[in-house]
């Protein structure tokens, strides 16, 4: 049984079919989801994380159907995500942003009315997570005042605070300098080595090729190819649909 | 003397109303223009129980808190479907409906309202107004403040912050957005309900017109004027906006003109309110107390960079 199984997922918005019978599996390791703009990558993330309900098909996590569940229930099962357009809690400090993820097991319980957030254990875990993503010096800073590169790290730290088994990263390297992207790649690799399953959407081909163990190429809502990075690099259909155009097209959401 | 006591009691009741709305609007970010409805539901609950069913004031007060909390969690349901300006409209609608029920349903006394609401008694001593009643109101206000303070330090408070700032991200850390919105409505309504009971037993009679939509605007003005989301702002806002018209006759006549003008000016020049975290006055006070300012993003960044260089 695979950790995550997407089975024939179709997502239609009125007349537009964003995903057409997409199937994939993910286990431990780093799976890259690549494809041109509008290929349906973020839509697929939204279907997995409960922000969208697939029109057809199902999503199984550890053998359990999750495609009818709501986002907070899916987080509770162990799937965390980041957002392509970062969504930090702007008015809260970096520390409080990460803290919010630690509350995952407490929010559904009435205990949340009594238990205070400033316990020593929570504090220590926040420190650890901030250290891990390199945000410790900014702990007391308002999230909104961080530059974009650090906000992306903050999103990851907040997602990690929910202790996921599967982590969905939506363009984690977008807007990062090459140095920042490298340290991000190191972090992702380390998480994978510790046993976490990771799916990441990436526009930067070199970044994805270097980092991912396996790649899935989406084009116009359909899976075009799937395989190891070196296989994808040689795949004619992929080169036509994506790699060939990427040089002239530039980048974007 | 008793006139000033009366003003102080009314101010105390409105401070607790402003603090209760602050939980919903300031903490959880759900702007409501229907808070007077909850105020009224509490007042009517206690009045009906004491006048028609012979219950004591204390039972009435407790029931007002519980019933209004329950009704609040039901009336909060629109917030699960609509956001922002649409929610404001929905809460307005709720206010109109509640007042209409008070006015046209006989059970609630109709347009004639409810009269002869008994004064509370404790250890055989009955008190309407005066220092004991002020003490009672202040104790309740302190309770509302303590609840607010406590909530702001718990996981519920953090979840409210998260929902106010970014609903999708809140869901992504495991917060059930609907559940916590209902919690906010329930808490906020329950505390307003208690204030309503205190009002009814102080005045002795209730009329539907006390709880109309314009009163909701007044309560929201107090919260916004003082500093929405803080534990001090709504207190100061309610004291100023309630006491000024009572104490200064010429202000009374132009009460709503004053409220309107103040709101416009605040929104233009001090959107964080008089004592909001980023208001001019609060910054000055912090400087005076020598607390300094928290590390800003830029300073923090420089600090970190110098650390990296050192390493």
Span B114-156, pLDDT tens digits? 999 999 988 878 887 789 999 999 999 999 999 999 999 999 9
Q: What is the DSSP letter of A20?
A: E
Cα separation, A60 vs B283, whole angstroms: 52
- Asked if residue A225 has pLDDT above 80, the reply is yes
Determine the Cα–Cα distance for residues B148 and B188; give it in Å rounded to an integer: 10
- Whether chain A has a CB inside 8 Å of the CB on B167: the answer is no
pLDDT at B298: 45
In 10 A of CB A1, how many CB atoms?
8
- Which residues 6+ apart lie within 8 Å of B257 measured at CB? none
Contact A100 B173 (CB under 8 A): yes
The reported pLDDT for the residue numbered A239 is 78
| Residue A134: Cβ-neighbour burial (10 angstroms; 0-12, 13-18, 19+) | middle
Pairing relation of β-strands A166-170 and A197-201? parallel
Entry field: residues in chain B:
311
Q: What does the pLDDT read at residue B123?
A: 81
Task: Give the model's pLDDT for residue A233.
Answer: 85
Chain B, 251 to 310: residues with Cβ < 8 Å from chain A are 294-298, 300-301, 303-304, 307
| Cβ within 8 Å, pair B297-A70 | no
Provide the 3-class DSSP secondary structure of residue A176: coil
Closest to B116 measured CA to CA, from B204, B232, B21, B49: B204
Of A99, A107, A141, the CB nearest to B300: A141
Question: Chains A and B: how many Cβ contacts under 8 Å?
Answer: 128
A88 touches chain B (CB under 8 A): yes
- Asked whether A238 and A217 are in contact (CB, 8 A), the reply is yes
Q: What is the pLDDT of residue A242?
A: 66
What pLDDT digit, counting tens, does each position of B267-289 carry? 888 888 888 888 889 988 988 88
Beta-strand ranges (E) seen in chain B are 121-122, 125-126
Predicted confidence at residue B55, as pLDDT, reads: 94
Q: Is B154 close to A146, i.e. CB distance below 8 A? A: no
pLDDT of residue A245: 54
The tokens for B229 are: 């989301």
In chain B, positions 176-235, which contact chain A (CB-CB < 8 Å)?
Answer: 176-177, 179-180
Flag whether pLDDT at A18 surpasses 50.
Answer: yes
Average predicted confidence (pLDDT) for chain A: 92
The residue with greater pLDDT, A197 or B279, is A197
pLDDT of residue B1: 56
pLDDT for residue A201 is more than 90: yes
The pLDDT value recorded for residue A185 is 94
Rounded-to-5 percentages of helix, strand, coil across chain B: 75, 0, 20
pLDDT at res. B291: 62
Query: Please, which residues have CB within 8 angstroms of residue A30's CB and are 6 or more apart in sequence?
Result: A188, A189, A192, A198, A199, A200, A211, A212, A213, A214
Q: Tokens at residue B262, please?
A: 């103040």
State the ipTM, two decimals.
0.91
- B-chain residues near A96 (CB < 8 A): 158, 161
Q: Which residues of chain B have pLDDT under 50?
A: 293-311
Residues facing residue A4 across a β-bridge: A26, A61
pLDDT, tens digit, 9 for 90 and up, residues A38-55? 899 999 999 999 999 999
Q: Nearest-CA distance from B169 to chain A in Å?
A: 6
Confidence check: pLDDT of A78 > 80: yes
Mean pLDDT (whole number) for A183-211? 92
Instruction: Residue B160: name the closest of B185, B136, B142 by CA.
Output: B185
- The beta strands (E) that lie in A109-196 are given as 166-170
pLDDT exceeds 90 at position A236:
no
Measured over the CA atoms of residue A238, residue A243, residue A246 and residue A252, the dihedral's sign is: positive
Please state, as a whole number, how many other Cβ atoms lie within 10 Å of the Cβ of residue B294: 13
Question: Closest residue of B to A52, CA-based?
Answer: B168
CB-nearest to B297 from A81, A92, A145 is A145
Read off the pTM.
0.90
Please tell me if residue A106 touches chain B, with a CB cutoff of 8 Å.
yes
| Interface contact A229, partner B, CB < 8 A | no
> Closest partner residue to A107 among B176, B296, B303, by Cβ?
B176
- Give Dmax (Cα) for chain B: 78
Check if the beta carbon of residue B277 is closer than 8 Å to that of residue B284.
Answer: no
For A15-24, A211-220, B259-268, which range has the lowest pLDDT when averaged over its residues?
B259-268
């Amino acid at each position: 049984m695979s950790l995550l199984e997407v089975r024939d997922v179709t997502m239609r918005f009125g007349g537009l079919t964003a995903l057409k019978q997409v199937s994939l599996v993910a286990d431990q390791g780093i799976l890259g989801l690549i494809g041109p703009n509008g290929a349906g990558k973020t839509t697929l993330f939204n279907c997995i994380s409960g922000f969208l309900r697939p029109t057809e098909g199902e999503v199984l996590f550890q053998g359990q159907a999750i495609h009818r569940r709501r986002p907070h229930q899916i987080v509770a099962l162990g799937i965390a995500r980041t957002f392509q357009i970062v969504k930090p809690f702007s008015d809260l400090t970096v520390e409080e942003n990460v803290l919010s993820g630690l509350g995952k097991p407490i929010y559904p319980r009435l205990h949340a009315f009594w238990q205070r957030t400033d316990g020593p254990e929570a504090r220590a875990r926040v420190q650890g997570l901030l250290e891990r993503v390199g945000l410790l010096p900014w702990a007391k800073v308002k999230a909104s005042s961080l530059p974009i590169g650090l906000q992306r790290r903050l999103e990851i730290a907040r997602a990690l605070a929910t202790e996921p088994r599967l982590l969905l990263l939506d363009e984690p390297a977008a807007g990062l300098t090459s140095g920042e992207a490298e340290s991000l790649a190191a972090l992702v690799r380390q998480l994978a080595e510790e046993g976490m399953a990771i799916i990441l959407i990436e526009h930067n081909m070199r970044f994805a090729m270097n980092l991912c163990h396996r790649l899935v190429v989406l084009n116009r809502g359909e899976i075009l190819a799937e395989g190891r990075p070196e296989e994808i690099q040689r795949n004619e259909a992929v080169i036509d649909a994506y790699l060939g155009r990427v040089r002239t097209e530039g980048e974007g959401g | 003397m008793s006139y000033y006591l009366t003003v102080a009691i009314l101010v105390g009741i409105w401070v607790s109303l402003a603090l209760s709305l602050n939980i919903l609007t300031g903490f959880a970010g759900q702007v409501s223009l229907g808070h007077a409805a909850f105020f009224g539901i509490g007042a009517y609950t206690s009045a009906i129980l004491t006048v028609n069913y012979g219950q004591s004031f204390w039972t009435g007060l407790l029931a007002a808190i519980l019933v209004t909390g329950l009704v609040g969690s039901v009336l909060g349901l629109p917030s699960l479907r609509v956001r922002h300006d649409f929610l404001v409209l929905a809460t307005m609608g709720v206010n109109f409906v509640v007042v209409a029920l008070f006015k046209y349903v006989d059970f609630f006394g109709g347009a004639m309202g409810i009269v002869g609401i008994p004064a509370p008694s404790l250890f055989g001593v009955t008190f309407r107004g005066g220092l004991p009643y002020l003490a009672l109101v202040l104790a309740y206000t302190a309770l509302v403040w303590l609840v607010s303070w406590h909530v702001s330090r718990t996981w519920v408070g953090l979840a409210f912050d998260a929902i106010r700032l970014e609903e999708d991200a809140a869901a992504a850390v495991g917060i059930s957005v609907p559940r916590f919105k209902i919690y906010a409505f329930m808490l906020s309504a329950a505390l307003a309900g208690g204030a309503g009971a205190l009002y009814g037993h102080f005045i002795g009679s209730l009329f539907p017109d006390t709880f109309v939509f314009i009163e909701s605007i007044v309560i929201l003005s107090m919260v916004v004027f003082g500093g929405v989301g803080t534990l001090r702002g709504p207190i100061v806002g309610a004291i100023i906006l309630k006491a000024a018209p009572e104490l200064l006759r010429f202000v009374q006549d132009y009460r709503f003109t004053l409220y309107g003008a103040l709101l416009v000016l605040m929104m233009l020049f001090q959107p964080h309110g008089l004592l909001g975290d980023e208001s001019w006055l609060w910054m000055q006070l912090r400087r005076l107390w020598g607390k300094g300012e928290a590390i800003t993003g830029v300073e923090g960044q420089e600090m970190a960079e110098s650390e990296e260089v050192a390493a």
